[in-house]
Chain A
């Protein structure tokens, strides 16, 4: 599938899973999708290993758009991008958008076959 993939990163595993559920239900199965949430030991927080795994799971040659909730999710996602093989790094972006709305809107754009820049722009439109 060459639609852009969507990765959801939240401090909460429940929020991440719920957001992914909403994306699947509203947008369908045309978009590679992965989610992660929670600290490495459990509880609220973000986990670089989990983000790396999510990027792998949602990887598409068209790239991946990451949706994050708060500070730590963004910083840890940045670390995960830096830890990617060089060939992938410039095809992964972190969207400046609210996590739920950005994921749904970004996934909608992705499902239409739009390129990564358009997916990110659509998601960031959600930040009204």
Chain B
């Protein structure tokens, strides 16, 4: 696994419902990477491609989302997911 990166959740609802779906859909496009997320650097780390598990994190706005990845697409996956979170998931209420 790569060293973790941390990105702040800036959109109003945090990692709920629709943002969680967008997050896992994007993670899944990186078939060559395993991706995990956590709310703390020490974990617990959960599979970012499991929408049920990502929703269960119930990460609110303002929380730091830690991400790490493995495999050939690890760097690309983290870059894309980081951008998604930083951009507020493209939701109207997300701060840019």
Contact = CB atoms under 8 A, between A and B. Distances in A.
In the complex, is A directly touching B at CB under 8 Å? yes
B contacts with A: majority SS: helix
Given A25-B18, A26-B17, A111 B25 contact: yes
A26 B52 contact: no
* Contact count band on A: 10 to 19
Interface string B50-73: 111101100000000000000000
* Contact count band on B: 10 to 19
A105 interface: yes
B50 A104 contact: no
A52 interface: no
A contacts with B: majority SS: helix
Given A26-B17, A26-B18, A122 B51 contact: yes
26 contacts: A25-B18, A26-B18, A27-B25, A101-B52, A104-B17, A104-B21, A104-B51, A105-B51, A105-B52, A105-B55, A108-B21, A108-B24, A108-B25, A108-B51, A109-B51, A111-B25, A112-B28, A112-B29, A122-B50, A122-B51, A122-B52, A125-B50, A125-B52, A125-B53, A126-B52, A128-B56
**Would you list the 3 A-B pairs with minimal beta carbon distance, nearest first?**
A125-B52, A112-B28, A26-B18
Given A108-B24, A112-B25, A122-B50, 6 more contacts: A26-B17, A26-B18, A26-B21, A109-B51, A122-B52, A128-B56
